[in-house]
Chain A
Amino acid sequence: MNEHARAKAHLYEFVRNELPEEDRQRIERHIQSCNQCREEASTLSTFFQEVDKATIDWSAQQPEEYWNTFAYSVQARITKEEPAQATAIERFLEWLDSVITFRPRDIAIAGACCILLLAGLVAGKYFLQQEKPPSQQQAARQVVSPVDSEYIRLHEYFRRSRALLVGLANSGLEEGEPADMEAEQTISKSLIHEARQLKQQPLDSRSERLISDMEKILLKLANSEMSENSADLELIRDGIERGNLLYKVRRAEAAYNQPTVMFANYKEE
């Protein structure tokens, strides 16, 4: 800090004669050579003299009798207010009063923070309300599985099951006629394996029931000796029809095709 800046920073203390002698002399020397500081010090000094002259000792305006009774008045207030025990909140406020000072800037900052927080909460609530329908669907989605890959897997399972069921329905074999169902049986085995893995995942009750029903059909198909006769195939077809499995599988396949929208509808129904 150069001499000029130092003098300006301590001009108040200098004029009020509050500086240690060494500092006072140092600023005095600067003021001798600096017109600006000299003028400022002179103006301040005149101003302070005016203010000091006009400053009133307000306590001296009151008669001595007033001051003789002041302390007793305070004591009377203390005694008067003492029986009414201060509540915990009052005691806390008193304590706060004794440690915290009125700071308008802090209050303004705290107020601004509260307003911002409030605005954030209101805005958040507004946007949440705006997005309510999708979030409900999302919740429905989470009942089944937390990740999209599982939807894709379920969709694939039902798609393959549907293809198999359609194939079985359209095989066109007569009762007792030997059938080559090797390909279907291989697919069945693969679907049984897939169904067992899917059942390890959290599923909604309807899908779980459908997969179990399908599993019975698939097991029958996988273990049948179709090359000897097609009686087993008829039993399987009968099972599919009685369980209305093709319809159910088609619906499930469609539901898992667009999981975020369609599955919600599938569940509600």
Chain B
Amino acid sequence: MSLWDEPELVNLSKNGDSKAYRQLVERNMKQAYNLAYRYVGNHDDAQDVAQDAFVRAYRSLKYFRGDAGFSTWLYRIVTNVALNRVKQLQRITKHESPITETTEMLMGHEPTVMRGFDTSAHIERALHELPTLQRAVVILRHLNGLSTKQVSNILRCSEGTVKTHLHRGIKKLQLKLKFLEEEQV
């Protein structure tokens, strides 16, 4: 079964082959979870978003035409589900920057022990302060390493828009994280 390529697995899944769909899930679950985590910032929501995205993808498989790869299509669903979740969370916290697990992990730990997490927490926080579309572009393009074309497919916008948002997002992140460079100096 593992020798099947992605389009074949998609076709088998469309015909109700649950084992084929499990293969698709196993191939993409870590990327989907990572992406979800970068949007929502904690394990519980990331797990829920990733699983929800796979369930929705399964139900919508009949609409999947295969123009883009399955993973690109899945990323679009993850992005939609995650951003909806973020909106819900923002409504609850009333526009406060959500406290991510990395921030929580910092509490009660020595800075030297959590050195890597410290910087990560600052990056995560700065990322969460970006406007939604800029955040989505930075996450997909920079952190997940997708191409401009793939990001434009996922976010349904032009490649020019992706480049603009990436440029602005990176600039804002640089400004927000400027103190990290100064600390190092």
Contact = CB atoms under 8 A, between A and B. Distances in A.
Contact of B155 (A75, A95, A101): A101
A103 B60 contact: no
The interface centre, meaning the residue of B25, B56, B79, B166 with most chain A CB atoms within 10 A of its CB, is B25
Given A12-B170, A71-B25, A101-B80, A50 B59 contact: no
A70 B24 CA distance: 12
B25 A101 contact: no
Given A59-B30, A77-B55, A47 B25 contact: no
Contacts of B31: 59
A56 to B, nearest CB: 5
A131 interface: no
Contacts of A77: 51, 55
A74 B79 contact: no
A56 B22 CA distance: 26
The interface centre, meaning the residue of A48, A67, A70 with most chain B CB atoms within 10 A of its CB, is A70
A58 B46 contact: yes
B60 A55 contact: no
B56 A94 contact: yes
Given A58-B34, A94-B60, A47 B177 contact: yes
A51 interface: yes
B63 A54 contact: no
A45 to B, nearest CB: 12
B120 A75 contact: no
A243 B36 CA distance: 92
A95 B60 contact: yes
B119 A53 contact: yes
A21 interface: no
Contacts of A61: 43
Interface in B93-149: 102, 116-117, 119-120, 122-123, 131-133, 136, 142-143
Contact of A58 (B38, B77, B163): B38
B49 interface: no
Interface in B126-185: 131-133, 136, 142-143, 154-157, 163, 166-167, 170, 173-174, 177, 180-181
Nearest to A9: B163
A39 to B, nearest CB: 13
A97 interface: yes
Interface string A35-64: 000000001101110110111111101100
- A contact patch SS: helix
Nearest to B156: A101
B165 to A, nearest CB: 11
B55 A81 contact: yes
Given A98-B64, A98-B73, A98-B76, A73 B56 contact: no
Contact of B25 (A44, A70, A99): A70
Contacts of A72: 22
B91 to A, nearest CB: 14
Interface string B18-41: 100110011001110110011000
A55 B83 CA distance: 20
Given A12-B163, A44-B170, A78-B58, 16 more contacts: A9-B163, A47-B170, A55-B123, A57-B34, A58-B34, A59-B29, A70-B25, A71-B25, A73-B51, A74-B29, A77-B51, A77-B55, A94-B60, A97-B80, A102-B132, A104-B131
Interface of A: 9, 12, 43-44, 46-48, 50-51, 53-59, 61-62, 67, 70-75, 77-78, 81, 86, 91, 94-95, 97-105
Q: Which 9 pairs, one residue from A and one from B, show the smallest C-beta to C-beta distance?
A: A54-B119, A59-B30, A98-B60, A58-B37, A71-B25, A101-B156, A102-B83, A74-B54, A54-B120
